[in-house]
Amino acid sequence: MPKPVKHVFVCSQSRPEGHPRGSCASKGSSEVLQTFWRELQQHNAYDRVAVTYSGCLGPCDGGVNVLVYPEGVLYQQVTAKDVKEIFDSHLMGDQIVSRLCAPASAW
Ligand code: FES
C-alpha cells in the first residue's frame, strides 16, 4: 500500500442514548463514512487518499467530525452531502473547504 498523501479520519464513536456528550454516530457518521469510501472508489484514489473510521476526536458538539492530515484540518457538522465537495476540493485539489472548518475554539 502506498503512503497516502491525505488521510481522512471520520469519527464513528457511538454512545448510549441520552449520554450528555452525544456522539457522531447518532448524527450520521456511518453515512458520511460510506460516502467517503464510495468517493474513494469512484476516484480510484487509493494511492493518494486513505479513509479510516475513528473513535471520539474530542469536540463532540460539532459532529460529525472529520479530520484530515497532514494539514490537521477539522471539518464539523459534516453530512453525506458535504463529502463530494471535501473529496474533490481538498483531497484531490488541495483546497480546504473553509465553510466546514471548525473554529479555533473547537479544540
Ligand atoms: S463523538 Fe465524535 S468527536 Fe466525540
| Domains delineated in the chain | 6-106 (3.40.30.10)
Compute the distance from residue 62 Cα to the ligand 1 centre, in Å.
8
What's the grid cell of residue 3? 503512503
- Check pLDDT > 90 for residue 97: yes
Statement: residue 2 has pLDDT above 90: no
The SS3 assignment for 55 reads coil
Our answer on whether the CB atom of 67 is closer than 6 Å to any ligand 1 atom is no
**pLDDT tens-digit profile of 9-66?**
999 999 999 999 999 999 999 999 999 999 999 999 999 999 999 999 999 999 999 9
The set of residues, in sequence order, having a beta carbon less than 8 Å from that of 58 and lying 6+ positions away, is 65, 107
Ligand 1 close to Cβ of residue 29 (< 6 A): no
Q: Do residues 41 and 32 make contact, with C-beta atoms less than 8 angstroms apart? A: no
What is the CB neighbour count within 10 angstroms for residue 15? Answer: 15
pTM for this predicted structure: 0.96
For residue 70, say if its preceding peptide bond is cis, omega within 30 degrees of 0: yes
pLDDT at 79 over 80: yes
